Structure 1
Amino acid sequence: MTQAKFAPGSPVIEEFGQAHWIDGAVHLPDANATYRIVFSVSAPGKKPEAPNAGLERVARAVNLYRMSGVTPDRLHCVAVIHGEATSSVLNDSPYQAAHSRPNPNARLIGALQAAGVEISVCAQALIANGFPQDALLPGVTRSLSALTTITLLQKDGYSLMPL
């Protein structure tokens, strides 16, 4: 059982993914290990005016690993967006057409990207939902499908975190 033996670091994503340091917590990430995580984000946002809760959890995970001393070069994260969460990565025009409001996920996605998280959307889900392939927020990549991306990343040593 690994217990905290040092002062916690600061969260890297301050505005999103609120996390709290717990003195004496067990099962802490090893700051000298390398972590590869693929997050499967498929649930829609519960509140149309708020960021998607799955994306918030990605930010929380990044914050917790970084607070535990894991450096950016040892934390590799990919958030695969698909299913009912697909609209989360649309730029404002198509998002507004679908939800009658600007995309509340834009700042969160930008913060995740700045922290080194790749945001990738399932192109099959874009097509199935009738969204334009080129209507994505800056930096969001299109994968052939969530089905193939998740299994390929797992083959490459990524741990799956379904959200």
Structure 2
Amino acid sequence: MPDIEVTAAVLGRIIVQAGRILDVPFGEVLERYGLTRNAWWLLTELYRTRDEEPAAIGEYARRSGLAASSATIATEQLTKRKLVRRRQPKDNRRTTLVNITGAGVSLVESARSDLERSVAGLYDLFDSDDRRLLQGLLTRIVTRGVHRSELQV
């Protein structure tokens, strides 16, 4: 097989295709738990910061990469299921603080276990050095904050 020049378009296409492959089991697990993707991203951000002081919904939206309106809708869905708790501080009624409940913590941990099992076969393609390298490369993509409008795939 001849070497393919690794252009931005080729690499971008491979990354997108890998994402699509991983999205299938991800979507199936979320569906089993009755969660939208936006609710999942918000809930996992709340899980990650559960030992910190509660913050405003808008702050969690920013951290999760969600529009404020999407985070508000997700918060309403999660509150109805008692996975998160909302409250308004007495000194600022325009702000709504949110934090994860024990039920939310349990759901995230259970769903993450299911996600791990659902994609375990894909990870068998890589040894531990490959996984560390891949994690570093993909983390660089995610944390560099490349705006979607800058990507030409």
Alignment TM-score > 0.5, same fold: no
TM-score of the superposed pair, with normalisation by structure 2? 0.28
TM-score of the superposed pair, with normalisation by structure 1: 0.27
Where is the helix percentage greater, Structure 1 or Structure 2? 2
Whose RCO is larger (CA < 8 A, sep 6+)?
1
